[in-house]
Amino acid sequence: MAAKKHRKGQTRRANGEDSSKKSARKADEPGAKDTVDRPQDDSPGHQDLTDLSAIEPFVVKDPEAMARNMAHMVEEMGKAAAAWVKPRETGEKTDSLSGPATDIVNTFSKLSEYWLSDPKRSIEAQTHLLSSYFDIWSGSMRKMSGEETVDPAASHLKDRRFADEDWQNNAFFSFLRQVYWVTSDWADKLVKDADGLDPHTRHKAAFYVKQLTSALSPSNFVLTNPELYKDTVEESGENLVRGMRMLAEDIRAGKGDLRLRQTDYDKFAVGENLALTPGKVIAQSEICQVIQYAPATEKVLKRPLLICPPWINKFYILDLNPQKSFIKWAVEQGHTVFVISWVNPDERHAGKDWEAYAREGVGFALDTVEKVTGERKVNAIGYCVGGTLLAATLALFAKEGDNRVASATFFTTQVDFVHAGDLMVFADAENIDSIEENMKAHGYLDGSKMATAFNMLRASELIWPYVVNNYLKGKEPMPFDLLYWNSDATRMPAANHSYYLRNCYLENNLSNDRMVLAGKTISLKDIKIPVYNLATREDHIAPARSVFIGSGCFGGKVTYVMSGSGHIAGVVNPPDRKKYQYWTGGKPVGEFDAWVAKAKEHPGSWWPHWQSWIEKQDHHMVDPREPGGGKLNSIEDAPGSYVRVRV
């Protein structure tokens, strides 16, 4: 009742305005003719505080329904809490936060120590922040008076989290946005200017600050996000009820951990609308299946093509659908394509190390290709960590006199890890010790752990937008095949993962001729075959600079190509989509920035450029080869059963 009286009072005060203002507002209504001159003080972004239509979307219309839905929301939150607690009470799940939590505290302690150790430096930093806040406050006051002001966060206006017009037009939310960005930029500057920190600690501090600022963005909370606030008012809180119900469902789906849904999982199924290129599983070991795809041309290249994908993700990123499939495209270019499909490991695979993946994976697949086609010479592709394994295996094979791989292509693959990007945050000695301790319980690293780490690399794009959409807006995410694949996580065998983290990220042994595999110290310089080394410009996992530096580790001729976009989109870029671009240049020697400055840009996909490179290695053609080639029986249809196992 009081609310109604208050609104009536506002209406009476509004009716007392001069007629020119009312006429101006009326002219702004949809369909109205602009017959009245607008007030001269109506500067861009200025909000007329006496205009009830501006605040109407923020006023609760049905307090009773809102109260009822708030009660339902609390009930659903209780269910979510119960889903989190239950597996911990039964002992099915235990939490070990000491590792990451301790690392964050230690990192920020070192950062704080640097700034507090010099009072003058500390006071200057605090004064800079406080003066920025004062400027925002005074600017907001002037803006409310109709004056034009300078937005100190103008450089961030294109951020999609702040797309709603009220982030600029509404004085309160504009103030929050500016304070957020000024504080975030200030925190980033604290890290960048901390000259007393060692490079690794500074890198970790920058990463953790980014995670913190992403989490604390006002766009992530109902009361500080105008779009969420208006949605909640309009629906009387029903959005929050749906959101908390989804939260409980996602915690149950994660068996006590949050399995953040990024897409509608019910819309996709491997083998039904994903991974559709026709083929057969023709061989199988304990750690992989080997798939051969059916030919699609009257003649095929004499050299077969073997693809070694990462085991951290599933191979069908290269066969999402017929429009995006690199595998289908390669078949249509005349390749006899074989793909390794890695097992989703469990306790039985705990002892499978890099040698096992080299022998029972890459070596087993090469044996299969030779048995089916009769060809000893093979073109091989390795993607991401699959490429790192392939490079190490080729170095081992070179020691042993095995020369079956005649050319190697690497997609976003690191062999030198000095500039390995933000994943280095998780790969120092303390974190690796914690990961190894975690893997002891079951003999593997749970796939959700790695998926979370990858999502954290782009938290403002891969975590918080879905938290807002799912649990605060209460909306189901849109179906998207790439995000379905991204959520289709795999486990990592303890021995394999520990070897990878220590030899590559921690000690950088592979590029320094120190890696010991199968009892032999291997060297990438022994790889004399032609190499096509693809990087992507915006890669967060295998930075283009890191891939460029790695090019100098091989002993043969290396063709370095940089594609536009990132780790996935830069690789999965079919020519007919005419998206992005790629750069080619001279030998990958000297400074990376100098190479980029002189490189030639080409529009569209790099795929045809790679095909031309492959044909220069050996262009001879033969009759097409059916899966199995009459030598091996089909075990099952592609994409096989290993790839269908979910965690």
Residue pLDDT, tens place only, 301-335 = 999 999 999 999 999 999 999 999 999 999 999 99
Question: Is residue 284 located within the same domain as residue 198?
Answer: no
Residue 55 binned pLDDT confidence (cut-offs 50, 70, 90) = confident
Q: Is the pLDDT of residue 41 over 60?
A: no
Question: Is residue 567 located within the same domain as residue 605?
Answer: yes
* Residues with catalytic function: 384
**Helix 63-89 crosses helix 238-253 at what angle (to 10 degrees)?**
10
DSSP, collapsed to helix, strand or coil, labels residue 583 as strand
Question: Is residue 285 located within the same domain as residue 244?
Answer: no
Last residue in a domain, options 236, 253, 270: 253
pLDDT tens profile 164-173: 999 998 989 9
Question: Is residue 366 located within the same domain as residue 511?
Answer: yes
The residue type at 133: Y
Which pLDDT does position 98 carry in this prediction? 57
Question: Is residue 168 located within the same domain as residue 290?
Answer: no
Report, as an integer, the average pLDDT of 26-55.
46
Tell me the three-class secondary structure of 522-576, residue by residue.
CCHHHCCCCEEEEEECCCCCCCHHHHHHHHCCCCCCEEEEEECCCCCCCCCCCHH
Q: 412: domain range? A: 279-420+506-644
Question: Is residue 200 located within the same domain as residue 327?
Answer: no
Question: Is residue 118 located within the same domain as residue 213?
Answer: yes
How many domains, the chain?
Answer: 2
Burial class (CB in 10 A: 0-12, 13-18, 19+), 321: middle
DSSP 179-192: HHHHHHHHHHHHHH
> Rounded to whole angstroms, how far apart are CA atoms 333 and 33?
61
CATH of residue 570's domain is 3.40.50.1820
pTM score:
0.87
Question: Is residue 150 located within the same domain as residue 288?
Answer: no
Q: Is residue 15 part of a domain?
A: no
Q: Is residue 379 part of a domain?
A: yes
Which pLDDT does position 96 carry in this prediction? 64
pLDDT tens profile 56-76: 889 999 999 999 999 999 999
Question: Is residue 212 located within the same domain as residue 317?
Answer: no
* Phi, psi of 578, rounded to the nearest 5 degrees: 55, 45
More confident residue, 169 or 380: 380
Q: Is residue 110 part of a domain?
A: yes
- The answer to whether the CB of 457 falls within 8 A of the CB of 541 is yes
Q: Is residue 60 part of a domain?
A: no
Q: Is residue 400 part of a domain?
A: yes
Task: Compute the CA torsion angle 381, 383, 384, 388 (nearest 10 deg).
Answer: -30
Residue 408 in tokens: 């190697």
> Rounded to whole angstroms, how far apart are CA atoms 234 and 58?
8
More confident residue, 76 or 458: 76
Q: Is residue 609 part of a domain?
A: yes
- Token pair 């073997």 is found at 306
Beta bridge partners of residue 339, listed in sequence order: 291, 307
Q: Is residue 442 part of a domain?
A: no
Report, as an integer, the average pLDDT of 482-487.
94
Question: Is residue 185 located within the same domain as residue 296?
Answer: no
Question: Is residue 286 located within the same domain as residue 248?
Answer: no
Q: Is residue 286 part of a domain?
A: yes
Question: Is residue 298 located within the same domain as residue 238?
Answer: no
DSSP 329-361: HHHHTT--EEEEEE----GGGTT--HHHIIIII
